[in-house]
Amino acid sequence: MTTNDAGEMPWGFQFPADVEALRARVREFAHAEIAPVAAPNDAKEVFPIETLRKMARIGLLGVISPKALGGLGTSNVALGAAVEEIAKVDLSCAIICSMQNTLGNLLHGWGDGLRASVNRAEDIIGLATSEPDSGSDISQIRTTAVKDGDELVINGTKRHVSLVPGATVLAVSATMEVEPGRDATTLIKVEANRPGVSWEEIPEMGQRAHQLAEVYFRDVRVPISNVMGEEGQGMAMNFVRWNVSRAVSALISLGTATGALDLATEYAKKRVVFGKPIARFEAVQFPIVEQYTRIEAGRWLAYRALWGADNGIASAKEASMAKLYGARTAFEACDVALQTHGADGYTRELPLERMLRDVRGMYFSGGTPQIHSINIGREIFGKGYAPHRN
Ligand SMILES: Cc1cc2nc3c(=O)[nH]c(=O)nc-3n(C[C@H](O)[C@H](O)[C@H](O)COP(=O)(O)OP(=O)(O)OC[C@H]3O[C@@H](n4cnc5c(N)ncnc54)[C@H](O)[C@@H]3O)c2cc1C
Q: Which amino acid is at 277?
A: P
Cα–Cα distance between 271 and 37 in angstroms, integer?
Answer: 27
Pocket test for ligand 1, best of 124, 160, 187, 331 (most atoms within 8 A of CB): 160
Taking the CA of residue 371 as reference, the ligand 1 atom at the shortest distance is 47
**Distances 203 to 26, 167, 200, 327, 353 between C-alpha atoms, Å:** 30, 17, 10, 21, 17
Burial class (CB in 10 A: 0-12, 13-18, 19+), 253: buried
Residue nearest to atom 4 of ligand 1 (CA): 365
Residue nearest to atom 43 of ligand 1 (CA): 370
- Residue 29 CB partners (closer than 8 Å, separation 6+): 54, 55, 58, 60
Q: Which amino acid is at 273?
A: V
For ligand 1, the distance from its centroid to the CA atom of residue 55, given in whole angstroms, is 29
Q: Across 192-248, where does the E strand assignment appear?
A: 197-201, 212-223, 227-228
Q: What is the pLDDT of residue 383?
A: 86
Tell me the CATH number for domain 235-385. 1.20.140.10
Cα–Cα distance between 161 and 201 in angstroms, integer?
Answer: 9
Rounded to 10 degrees, the C-alpha dihedral 378/358/254/19 comes to 110
Taking the CA of residue 99 as reference, the ligand 1 atom at the shortest distance is 8
Asked whether 118 and 52 are in contact (CB, 8 A), the reply is no
For ligand 1, the distance from its centroid to the CA atom of residue 135, given in whole angstroms, is 5
Q: What is the pLDDT of residue 389?
A: 67
Asked whether 256 and 210 are in contact (CB, 8 A), the reply is no
Pocket test for ligand 1, best of 185, 328, 368, 376 (most atoms within 8 A of CB): 368
- Residue 86 CB partners (closer than 8 Å, separation 6+): 26, 30, 34, 55, 60, 93, 94, 97, 255
Residue 33 DSSP code: I
Pocket test for ligand 1, best of 130, 157, 187 (most atoms within 8 A of CB): 130
Per-residue pLDDT of the chain (390 residues; tens, 9 = 90+): 556 676 766 667 889 999 999 999 999 999 999 999 999 999 999 999 999 999 999 999 999 999 999 999 999 999 999 999 999 999 999 999 999 999 999 999 999 999 999 999 999 999 999 999 999 999 999 999 999 999 999 999 999 999 999 999 999 999 999 999 999 999 999 999 999 999 999 999 999 999 999 999 999 999 999 999 999 998 888 888 999 999 999 999 999 999 999 999 999 999 999 999 999 999 999 999 999 999 999 999 999 999 999 999 989 999 999 999 999 999 999 999 999 999 999 999 999 999 999 999 999 999 999 999 999 999 999 988 888 766
Residue nearest to atom 40 of ligand 1 (CA): 388
Residue nearest to atom 29 of ligand 1 (CA): 136
Closest CA to 213 of 61, 338, 99, 45: 45
Q: What is the ipTM score, two decimals?
A: 0.98
For ligand 1, the distance from its centroid to the CA atom of residue 324, given in whole angstroms, is 13
**CATH architecture assigned to 17-123:** Orthogonal Bundle (1.10)
For ligand 1, the distance from its centroid to the CA atom of residue 130, given in whole angstroms, is 8
Q: Give the pocket of ligand 1 (CB within 6 Å).
A: 126-130, 135-136, 160-162, 207, 212, 361, 364-365, 367-368, 370-371, 388
Pocket test for ligand 1, best of 125, 185, 365 (most atoms within 8 A of CB): 365
Tell me the CATH number for domain 127-231. 2.40.110.10
- What is the domain partition of the chain in residue ranges? 17-123, 127-231, 235-385
Report residue 197 CA to chain centroid gap: 24
